[in-house]
């Protein structure tokens, strides 16, 4: 059996991690197991997971109800192709998603990840206009500081600076970028905030298939919270200019922002919605793209006669069964009150960070909090500091942020906020 150091050496030599060089110069921490809100490392240390395994494990690790759903399903079948076949877990999960999402969304296309869900949404929009005899409507309008994934179409709609567009110059489809919203959540709305978005629609609407953005909460692009009125105005403008609206709820869906979906703050029903991450409770990779009957009905009459997309592991039965159990678990308790409690505690305990020299801003909404620094963090230094304090966080850019599991207890959350304050104080 390999020693712990041998494992780390093999990992560094052969395993490519996300957003890392090869060989990987950054520290990695081998995990032995995980349960509840805790990650158990191979060296025996226990870490409170303050980011829900990249915002997915909303009910923590090894939840008995999710495990039971997985065991039950795996005894029947772990996978079967979805072309020409169907199964109960996919049908039941589709029904549940239709019940939970805005009322006009009636059709569900399953995929393997959030990035692919965005690719599906963008292809749906482009092929929709082709079906309607307007193939030149094939570009997308988005807003700066956004993030939609790392595949090519999704990346083309990410912030052109943070999205590193220059590295893939000539390969990414040029899209239209409105200024990022500046009126923060809770501030007084200012109509000028939507002017850039409105101007681009007026000038380029005949080329734009859809507007795509994250409603209210911009996540990996900077953990920014903006005014819901922006979403309302954007929705109205899209209707005026005959442009579809795609809302990316991959990070915010299923309660994270304090609403079931962030678009609920604006009372907006999109034409297309993407969900993922928390969908399966972090158990397995699964995502979905939902759309309306009006959009779906154009495909049978279009040139292709079908929607031109079909992932190999689409609607994996095991992932669907666990996801259904996860959503039923979410509906089984008062998650709204729990998120409100987390929000209140985060706001109270992170407020002292505002007085630190290294800190530029502190932002909290629902079970999301970000401490923005004046300078980017040094991951090689900061990551081990959090581990030493018994907390797992994954800072990026200038942000120390937390998106804890919904099941986190007050004392565990205090450990997370204390670690953030102490690390920020030492910078």
What pLDDT was estimated at residue 313? Answer: 96
Kindly tell me if the per-residue pLDDT of 301 is higher than 90: no
pLDDT digits (tens, 9 = 90+) for 89-121: 999 999 999 999 999 999 999 999 999 999 999
The catalytic residues are 19, 147, 248, 277
Residues 45 and 388 sit within 8 Å (Cβ to Cβ): no
Is 4-62+333-425 a domain of CATH 3.40.50.720?
no
Cα–Cα distance for residue pair 321/318, rounded to 1 Å: 5
The pLDDT mean for the chain works out to 96
Phi/psi of residue 48, each to 5°? Answer: -80, 120
**76-331 and 4-62+333-425 share a CATH fold:** no
What pLDDT was estimated at residue 302? Answer: 82
CA dihedral (290, 294, 297, 301) positive or negative: negative
Residues 166 and 138 sit within 8 Å (Cβ to Cβ): no
Cα–Cα distance for residue pair 239/236, rounded to 1 Å: 5
Tokens of 138: 């094939």
pLDDT digits (tens, 9 = 90+) for 11-56: 999 999 999 999 888 899 999 999 999 999 999 999 999 999 999 9
The mean per-residue pLDDT over the stretch 142-169 comes to 91
Kindly tell me if the per-residue pLDDT of 164 is higher than 90: no
Q: Would you kindly state where each structural domain of the chain is located, as residue ranges?
A: 4-62+333-425, 76-331
pLDDT digits (tens, 9 = 90+) for 351-404: 999 999 999 999 999 999 999 999 999 999 999 999 999 999 999 999 999 999
Strands 272-275 and 208-213: unpaired
Q: Is 375 helix (H, G, I), strand (E, B) or coil?
A: coil
Helix 410-425 × helix 379-388 angle, to 10°: 140
**Could you tell me what percent of the chain has a pLDDT over 90?**
94
Cα–Cα distance for residue pair 256/223, rounded to 1 Å: 13
The mean per-residue pLDDT over the stretch 136-157 comes to 96
**Could you tell me what percent of the chain has a pLDDT over 70?**
100
The mean per-residue pLDDT over the stretch 203-232 comes to 97
Buried b (16+ CB within 10 A) or exposed e, 414-423: ebbbebbbeb
Local confidence band at 288 (pLDDT 50, 70, 90 cut-offs): very high
Local confidence band at 161 (pLDDT 50, 70, 90 cut-offs): confident
Give 76-331's CATH code, choosing from 3.30.390.30, 3.40.50.300, 3.40.640.10, 3.30.230.70.
Answer: 3.40.640.10
Residues 353 and 420 sit within 8 Å (Cβ to Cβ): yes
Ramachandran region, residue 331 (left: φ > 0; alpha: ψ -120 to 50; beta: rest): alpha
Partners of 136 in the β-ladder: none
Local confidence band at 1 (pLDDT 50, 70, 90 cut-offs): low
């Amino acid at each position: 059996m390999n020693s712990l150091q041998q494992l780390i050496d093999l990992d560094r030599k052969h395993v490519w991690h996300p957003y890392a060089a090869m060989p990987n110069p950054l520290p990695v921490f081998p995990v032995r197991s995980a349960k509840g809100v805790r990650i158990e490392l191979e060296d025996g240390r226990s870490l409170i997971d303050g980011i829900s395994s990249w915002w997915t494990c909303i009910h923590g690790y090894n939840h008995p109800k999710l495990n039971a759903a997985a065991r039950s399903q795996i005894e029947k079948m772990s996978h079967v192709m979805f072309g020409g076949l169907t199964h109960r877990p996919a049908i039941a999960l589709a029904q549940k998603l239709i019940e939970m999402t805005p009322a006009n969304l009636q059709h569900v296309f399953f995929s393997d990840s959030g990035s692919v869900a965005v690719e599906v949404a963008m292809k749906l929009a482009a092929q929709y206009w082709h079906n309607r005899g307007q193939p030149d409507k094939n570009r997308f309008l988005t807003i700066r500081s956004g993030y939609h994934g790392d595949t090519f179409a999704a990346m083309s709609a990410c912030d052109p600076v943070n999205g590193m567009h220059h590295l893939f110059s000539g390969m990414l489809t040029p899209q239209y970028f409105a200024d990022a919203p500046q009126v923060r959540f809770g501030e007084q709305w200012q109509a000028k905030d939507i002017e850039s978005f409105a101007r681009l629609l007026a000038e380029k609407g005949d080329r734009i298939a859809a507007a795509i953005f994250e409603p209210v909460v911009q996540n990996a692009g900077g953990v920014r919270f903006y005014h819901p009125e922006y979403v309302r105005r954007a929705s109205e403008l899209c209707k005026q200019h005959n442009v579809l609206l795609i809302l990316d709820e991959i990070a915010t869906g299923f309660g994270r922002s304090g609403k079931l979906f962030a678009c609920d703050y604006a009372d907006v029903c999109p034409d297309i919605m993407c969900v993922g991450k928390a969908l399966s409770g972090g158990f397995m990779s699964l995502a979905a793209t939902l759309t309306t009957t009006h959009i779906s009905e154009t495909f049978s009459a279009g040139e292709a006669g079908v929607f031109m997309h079909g992932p190999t592991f689409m609607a994996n039965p095991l992932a669907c069964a666990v996801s259904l159990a996860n959503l039923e678990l979410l509906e089984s308790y008062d998650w709204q009150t729990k998120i409100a409690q987390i929000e209140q505690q985060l706001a109270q305990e992170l407020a002292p960070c505002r007085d630190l020299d290294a800190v530029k801003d502190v932002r909290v909404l629902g079970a999301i909090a970000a401490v923005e620094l004046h300078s980017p963090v040094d991951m090689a230094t900061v990551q081990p500091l959090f581990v030493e304090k018994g907390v797992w966080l994954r800072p990026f850019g200038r942000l120390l942020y937390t998106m804890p599991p919904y099941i986190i207890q007050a004392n565990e959350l205090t450990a997370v906020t204390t670690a953030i304050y102490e690390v920020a104080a030492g910078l």
